[in-house]
Amino acid sequence: GASEEVAPPVQPCFVVPKKEINVVSDMAKWKRSQAYADYMGFILTLNEGVRGKKLTCEYKVSEPIEKLVALLNTLDRWIDETPPVDQPSRFGNKAFRTWYAKLDQEAEKLVSAVIPKHLADAAPEVAVYLKESVGNSTRIDYGTGHEAAFAAFLCCLCKIGVLRVDDQMAIVFKVFNRYLEVMRKLQKTYRMEPAGSQGVWGLDDFQFLPFIWGSSQLIDHPSLEPRHFVDEKVVNENHKDFMFLECILFITEMKTGPFAEHSNQLWNISAVPSWSKVNQGLIRMYKAECLEKFPVIQHFKFGSLLPIQPVTS
């Protein structure tokens, strides 16, 4: 029926310049908020947009998408320019703070380069989400709350009309995928701690969204089934096409020992019969384990683009 259709990204709204940004304090209020509805709608719209598509397929790449990739390339270059420092503790290299200070200083300028002049007033608010998306500079950690801030950053760009409905595939395959590469480089270079990780009970130490969108990519695949992603050969041969397998490859590079031990939740998922079941289950799990867990979402910011007010519709 018509009600099944995925809602298009929210129409542009005008930004109140220098709007006060608030943080989550009340979980029930958060779940009823316009921000939660818009954020989840955005995640699900993209989930449909990449369904059954390979990373390597053809799709439209608009100018704002190119500019976002350039922004991420800049962050990547700064990592090369900020090597880790010698320090006694193995984890949480303090050079990350130097790298982060640069982003903190330049974020508004970076965002201003992506958005058109007539939307310049939105830059300060949108830049907040970019700064939140790379990890915490005090604890030198990174987790799904930071990843959510990057998705919120992209959602805000949709709301002000910089990104459009036909950018969906490029948002996931080009921008979000590049973001993941930069985050993996940050995690490795500065040996960042997982933030709010549930250890062996969590899906992954650092990410969640690429498992959702990555499982959607694999829906109705003629030969790859969920049981195949624990097979090293399958991962090596197909990871360039599928985000999910790229995540598995990164985990196996970073962790030693049997997969069933270091990634028990994923091991359990490999027993699910179909990718559509995996996809539905991951969406439920994302809501329960990430968006509805206070430690993960307590730092989520609200403003005029993602308001804390209850949903109006």
| Range with lowest mean pLDDT among 36-40, 134-138, 203-207, 236-240 | 203-207
In-domain check, residue 221: yes
The CATH code of the domain that includes 110 is 1.20.120.1150
The rounded percent of the chain whose pLDDT value lies above 90 is 80
> Quick one: average pLDDT of 158-162?
97
Number of domains in the chain: 1
Predicted pLDDT at 295? 82
Asked whether residue 11 is domain-assigned, the answer is: no
Mean pLDDT to the nearest integer, 204-220: 96
Residue 137 falls inside a structural domain = yes
Smallest Cα–Cα separation from 270: which of 242, 290, 248? Answer: 248
**What value does the mean pLDDT take over residues 294-310?**
89
Q: How confident is the model at residue 201 (pLDDT cuts 50, 70, 90)?
A: low
pLDDT surpassing 80 at residue 48: yes
Which of 63-67, 112-116, 199-203, 236-240 shows the lowest per-residue confidence on average (mean pLDDT)?
199-203
User: How far apart are the C-alpha atoms of 13 and 57, rounded to whole Å?
Assistant: 32
Average pLDDT taken over every residue of the chain: 91
Show the CA angle centred on residue 139, arms to residues 134 and 142, nearest 5°. 35
Domain that holds residue 254: 19-302
202 falls in which pLDDT band (50, 70, 90)?
Answer: confident
251: in domain: yes
Q: What is the pLDDT of residue 28?
A: 86
Phi/psi at 23 (5° precision) = -115, 155
pLDDT at 14: 39
Q: Where are the alpha helices (DSSP H) in the chain?
A: 27-32, 34-49, 63-81, 95-112, 123-132, 144-159, 168-170, 177-189, 209-217, 232-238, 243-254, 259-262, 264-269, 275-286, 294-297
- Residue range 128-148: average pLDDT? 96
Better-predicted residue by pLDDT, 164 or 1: 164
Residue 13 placed within a domain: no
Q: Is 309 inside a domain boundary? A: no
In a domain, 154, yes or no: yes
Quick one: how many helices (H) and strands (E) in the chain? 15, 4
pTM above threshold 0.85: yes
